[in-house]
Structure 1
Amino acid sequence: MTSTPSNTAGAVLITGASSGIGEATARHLGALGYPVVLGARRVDKLAAVVDDIREAGGRAEFHELDVTDLASVRDFVAFATTVYGRVDVLVNNAGVMPLSTMNALRIDEWNQMIDVNLRGTLHGIAAVLPLMEAQGSGHIVNVASVSGLRVDPTAAVYSATKFAVRALSEGLRQESRVVRVTIVSPGFTVSELTERGGDVATLDAVRATTAQMGLPASAVAEAIAYAIGQPATVDVNEIIVRPTLQG
């Protein structure tokens, strides 16, 4: 079921929008008529996606973004506010997944996952929450993972960050009567998550499994669109999207 942007007048901000779920979400929401602002470090890829959305008749902008840097996130939000007047939705999607066993001691990669997956999500919340509370409405969508529901070997640190994203999302939901909060937890999804860092053999196995059964990123984008398209009185708290073949 697709939804129209009848209850969204301002911008939808999407982090990690240069590929994967972020890109698919930007394209899908843009096609539905939402004004979208794409953020990521790879601005050349953002520009190409924005061009496509505009050529199809949508409204889209982009801005360079490093979610590990609070000042960068605040600049991203300020840019969107300047262009569209207000921010109605933030999709906290940026993430990394360099998998390895704990005894490999890939500490730099542990810290990267903490900085991008968890701290980046918190930075997004910190940048938009005051605006949303001041305007009396808003919606924060945090992309977690089924790894935030279970722990598997090689994914301990990644899972820890996604468990944390789910915990802070639920805490924010309980604290706020103004801002809607949705957790979206995808299973195996075709994306670039397995392309950088981590143990080579582990990521080769994940890529092979994803190639066999993985969801297209567009399936997750449609779930996000469903959540944000609900009436303001309806808060879709959590959506889990797995391939049918995933155990």
Structure 2
Amino acid sequence: MSPTVLITGASQGIGKATAILFAQNGYNLVLASRRVEILTATAQEVQALGQKVLSISCDVKDPQQVANLANKALAEYGSIDVLVNNAGIYSSGTVEDFSLEDWHQTIDTNLWGYIHTIHALLPAMIAKGSGTIVNVISIGGKVPIPYLVPYSTSKFALAGLTDAMHSELKPKNIHVCGVYPSVIKSSLMERAIFRGKDAQDIEARRNQLNQVLSTPVVEKPEDVAKAIWDGVKNQRSEVLVGSAKLSTVAYSLFPGLMQWVFRQGFKQKT
């Protein structure tokens, strides 16, 4: 019987690349995303690889929708062997310009969205006596990044959640892995929050991210998918993707210098 993976944020980018890779390795899939039309297209593409696919519209911020996702997935397959938490949102701007709604949007998606899926699926994994949970985090959960404060807050929280769960659940044969990419050439712009002093500042932040995403050296969703597969196959507790390794090492050696570099890189108007 084929193992089953459930992937959130699965309609495009990292989620789609991960779905394709797992299908190529014999997994049946549960794909979850808010955008039904794109999710359906992705499901059809994955289905063409010969694996069974269940696609479910779900906003991970809503625990009831996540409970429905888990119930349908378990009813269809009986168990979920791997959960890949990937749905997320990027937020850029000066910390004082973020509204409470911005904070909630970021943390409710990036942190609570992961908690909701874990809460819904972990009991079945424990009852089965096995399972793997992969949390796609960010270099922003290893290195504090100015002008991305709500985003970095959510990612540091995810890093703590992942490490603590790894320690607690290992004796129960539940493997927990954190995957840490840097900026990825994906659909990040579509769900990003930009805030600033004025419209010009906001537009400058938007253009800045666009320029970074268009750089040839920026990693691709397929690079993160391979890291996720590595974490699952080799039972790694964490996997740093590409340039995230360099950023982490540089920050550990030269924290003051790296803080200055990030401030210069991410600030716009003073």
TM-score by length of 2: 0.83
Q: Distance in 1 between matches of 2:30 and 2:89?
A: 21
Q: Deviations over 1:114-173 (max 9, x none)?
A: 100001111111011101000000000001000111122211110010000010111111
Task: Choose between structure 1 and 2: higher helix proportion.
Answer: 2
Q: Distance in 1 between matches of 2:69 and 2:229?
A: 21
- 1:4 corresponds in structure 2 to none
- 1:123 corresponds in structure 2 to 116
Q: Structure 2 regions of 5+ residues with no counterpart?
A: 195-201, 248-270
Q: Deviations over 1:73-97 (max 9, x none)?
A: 1111111111112111100100001
Q: Structure 1 regions of 5+ residues with no counterpart?
A: 1-7
Q: Say whether the 8 Å CA contact 2:12–2:42 is kept in structure 1.
A: no
1:234-245 equivalences in 2 (<5 Å): 235-243=235-243
Code of the residue aligned with 2:55 in structure 1: it is F
Is 1:43 matched up with 2:36? yes
Q: Say whether the 8 Å CA contact 1:89–1:140 is kept in structure 2.
A: yes
Q: Distance in 1 between matches of 2:24 and 2:52?
A: 9
Determine what percentage of the aligned residue pairs are the same residue.
35
Where 2:193 maps in the other structure, the secondary structure is: coil
Code of the residue aligned with 1:144 in structure 2: it is I
Q: Distance in 2 between matches of 1:147 and 1:106?
A: 20
State the 4+ residue runs in structure 1 displaced beyond 4 angstroms. 244-247
Q: RMSD value over aligned CA atoms?
A: 1.7
Code of the residue aligned with 1:112 in structure 2: it is Q
1:245 to partner: Cα distance: 11
Max Rg structure: 2
- 2:263 corresponds in structure 1 to none
One of 164, 184, 199 as aligned partner of 1:189 = 184
Q: Distance in 2 between matches of 1:34 and 1:102?
A: 42
Q: Distance in 2 between matches of 1:52 and 1:127?
A: 27
One of 139, 142, 147 as aligned partner of 2:135 = 142
Rate the CA distance shift 1:107–1:201 in 2: closer, same or farther, 3 A: farther
TM-score by length of 1: 0.90
Q: Say whether the 8 Å CA contact 1:102–1:156 is kept in structure 2.
A: yes
- Specify which structure has the bigger relative contact order, considering alpha-carbon pairs within 8 angstroms and separated by 6 or more residues: 1
Code of the residue aligned with 1:186 in structure 2: it is P
One of 62, 66, 74 as aligned partner of 2:67 = 74
